[in-house]
Structure 1
Amino acid sequence: MSKAFTKEAEGGDVYDDLPDRPVSPHNLVTPRGLEMIEAELARLHEEHAAAQESDDKALLAKINRDLRYWTSRRATAQVVEPPVNAKEVQFGSTVTILREDGRRLTYRIVGEDEADPALGTLSYASPVAQELMGKEVGDVVRAGTAEAEIVAIS
């Protein structure tokens, strides 16, 4: 079809079509995770006001999309207090594993939005965290392509 017969978006209309960020059905959070969500919402509200003042339609569309995502995450967040029993791995536990190659790694099991494996946090929905859940010190689990022994839980 010739471009002459298509309707172009007017003004900011093109920015209203940003697809929503996918929202996971998994939304357990630590108390710290809830604080992080609320801080992100506060930051986005400030950025929204500034973008409105400067009439930056592209930025407003991006911020509105992120506000929808974080508002949804806040509304569905289920806060889980840190475990009091360090006998088995649970949401919020800190787990140290010893891999077959001798590496000792420590991870804290947290919500999806607060997970960053490079910083030592794993989403409870991740395969490694799922493998660790319910296990005790001395248990051997699959960690990626190798096995690892749980050597500490706190």
Structure 2
Amino acid sequence: MSRGFVKEDDLEHAGTDLPERPLSPFPNYVTPTGLQQLQEQANLLEQQRVQLAPRKEDPVVQQTLARVERDLRYLVARLESAIPVEPGSALDTVRFGCTVEAEDETGALQQFQIVGEDEADIAAGKVSWVSPLAKALLGHKLGDSVLWPRPAGNLQLEIIDIR
């Protein structure tokens, strides 16, 4: 396309009209650690926004600033809707915030902590409370056998520890 058909304003604002990050329709339960992480991320983005603001005429900075402001709006909304949940002391039943150790049908041990959506990190063994795995585990007791529905096929898990 010839540059004659491109308005300068279009080039300057390219990448600054980002779609909003979708908010979950579920209650925003968070562990104390998850709430702290949200606050730290929001503070970091606010610092970035303040640092970028003086150079907002630069098109590259405009793109970065648009992303920072969008992510900051998301985090502020998540903080406003946060429902902090303290882990209970009675650990006879799997609940939000618990760490569950389970043995699958092959004898492999797996450990999961049930956390809020924003703090889920499967590499760290943290699963969202709305995930199929957490839904299978929640409300069950030590020694219970649960069925974990997975795209790769259902897996039977036996709860061997709750902490």
Give the TM-score of the pair, scaled to structure 2: 0.86
Matches within 5 A, 1:1-154: 9-10=9-10, 12-26=12-26, 27-55=28-56, 56-143=61-148, 144=150, 145-154=154-163
Aligned-residue offset at 1:113: 0.6
- Structure 1 position 10, deviation (Å): 4.4
For residue 146 of structure 1, report the CA deviation from its aligned partner.
Answer: 1.3
Aligned partners of 1:7 and 1:142: how far apart in 2? 58
Give the match's secondary structure for 2:156: strand
Aligned residue pairs total: 153
Identity of aligned residues (%): 38
Tell me the CA shift for residue 129 of structure 1: 0.1
Q: Post-superposition shift, 1:11?
A: 6.2
Q: Is the 8 A contact 1:93 1:109 kept in 2?
A: yes
- Name whichever of 140-149 and 66-75 sits farther off: 140-149
Query: Gaps (5+ residues) in structure 2?
Result: none
RMSD of equivalent CA atoms: 1.9
Give unmatched runs, 5+ long, in structure 1. Answer: none
The runs of at least 4 consecutive aligned structure 1 residues that moved more than 2 Å come to 3-16
Contact 1:141 1:148 in 2 (8 A): yes
TM-score, with normalisation over the residues of structure 1? Answer: 0.91
Q: Is the 8 A contact 1:12 1:58 kept in 2?
A: no
